[in-house]
Structure 1
């Protein structure tokens, strides 16, 4: 891996902290007790950063998202991390195919933007077609209670890099939240299969996760999903599913991305 590629993340971390610092200082000035709540400060910072860069990040993956989301989402959609954060999944949903949108986003500072995008797309809480949850993806009981049962489509866009106990969370979501015959769609940056890239991902993760609200570079999320088994040791997927490389993200990249579509047996 070229050293310029491996060290490029230093600039990203510095830029992230530079832009987030004034927002965090303002929040602490208004509420000094936030000094003792670092996770909340991180969420405040991430919300501000997404306000600045969310649209650009979304546009960079637009073609991939159209192919992944618009063509494969239907029924009740559960969006883990809300696309991520500000509801950027919503514009890709086909309103003729999707009857209800449920956003799972523990960062409540992002809920206002999710609601705006949902309303623009025709999903509203008043009509019962929009539900916004402030819990994490691991809170299966809360999700099932709010959804009223299993969902038809499960979506994760650049989110599983941050969820706690990711393998168990994925297993529980697929086992209990996704309906039989339902579709799991994901676009995630993942651990590289190249040893040189993976080494740098592991090297930077302990620092990067503090700069970006728990985001980890070293998770083989695509493989955890692909290899998911039931209690009998059999694959939970019908036909094996499909996985492919994201457009514009070469293998020699710390944020190498994979997309996938899997149907629950």
Structure 2
């Protein structure tokens, strides 16, 4: 792997620190008790990072999401790690009855609510539900949704990289939350199949995840999902034009659960 590719993420790391360090420091000065709550500090930092990065990250994956989401998402849609709700830009409102945004960082809920309203999804009409939970909070999710097997479509866009116990969490979500015959859609950066790229992904992950709220570069998410013995249909493909010598190597997937 070329060193220029191996160190390319340093520019993004520097940009993130420039965008979020001072606002986060100001928040700590205003509320010093945050120092004993590092998880909250991380979320404050990430909320400022995403204000700068969010639209650009969405734009870079626009073609992939246009091909993945509108034709496959329907019914009750659960968006894992919704961020600012960019997935709403790709939903066909004639096919989606309810948008459920799962976003543990409550500092991002305002952006979700605003974008959802512009797309016709509101809490007042029962077509929008924002849940302040992580994907691992399965019992809280099922309770808020009114029981098990209530979701027609689960969507994960660059989210499984940061959830705790990802393999177990995704398996449990599919087992307990997704309806029989329901669909899982994902677009994730994953562990590269190239040993040289994978080495650098593992090297950078301990540093990267501290700046980006737990984001790991070295998770074989696509393999975990493909190996689950619950699928009636499965399809995985790559991002058009993406070089293999890339620390953020993406896989795209569509999986249909057995009825």
TM, length-normalised to structure 1:
0.94
**Aligned pair 1:218/2:218, yes or no?**
yes
Give the secondary-structure state (helix, strand or coil) at the position aligned to 1:123: coil
Q: Give how far 1:135 is off.
A: 0.8
Q: Which residue is equivalent to 1:232?
A: none
Q: Which residue is equivalent to 1:253?
A: 246
Q: Give how far 1:138 is off.
A: 0.9
Q: Which residue is equivalent to 1:127?
A: 125
1:94-109 superposed matches below 5 A:
94-109=92-107
Give the Cα separation in 2 of the matches to 1:207 and 1:243. Answer: 29
- The answer (yes or no) to whether the contact 1:73–1:153 under 8 Å persists in 2 is yes
Q: Which residue is equivalent to 2:256?
A: 263
Q: Which residue is equivalent to 1:90?
A: 88
- The answer (yes or no) to whether the contact 1:61–1:247 under 8 Å persists in 2 is no
Q: Which residue is equivalent to 2:236?
A: 243
Q: Which residue is equivalent to 1:72?
A: 72
Q: Give how far 1:248 is off.
A: 3.9
Give the Cα separation in 2 of the matches to 1:203 and 1:196. Answer: 11
Give the Cα separation in 2 of the matches to 1:221 and 1:256. Answer: 11
Give the Cα separation in 1 of the matches to 2:29 and 2:71. Answer: 47
Q: Which residue is equivalent to 2:54?
A: 54
Q: Give the one of 112, 115, 123 matched to 1:114.
A: 112
Moved over 3 A (4+): none
Q: Give how far 1:207 is off.
A: 1.0
1:119-198 superposed matches below 5 A:
119-149=117-147, 150-198=150-198
- The answer (yes or no) to whether the contact 1:34–1:41 under 8 Å persists in 2 is yes
Q: CA RMSD in A?
A: 1.0
Give the Cα separation in 2 of the matches to 1:157 and 1:104. Answer: 12
Q: Give how far 1:148 is off.
A: 2.0
1:22-33 superposed matches below 5 A:
22-33=22-33
- The answer (yes or no) to whether the contact 2:222–2:251 under 8 Å persists in 1 is yes
Q: How many residues align?
A: 256
TM, length-normalised to structure 2:
0.96
- The answer (yes or no) to whether the contact 2:19–2:52 under 8 Å persists in 1 is no
Q: Give how far 1:12 is off.
A: 2.0
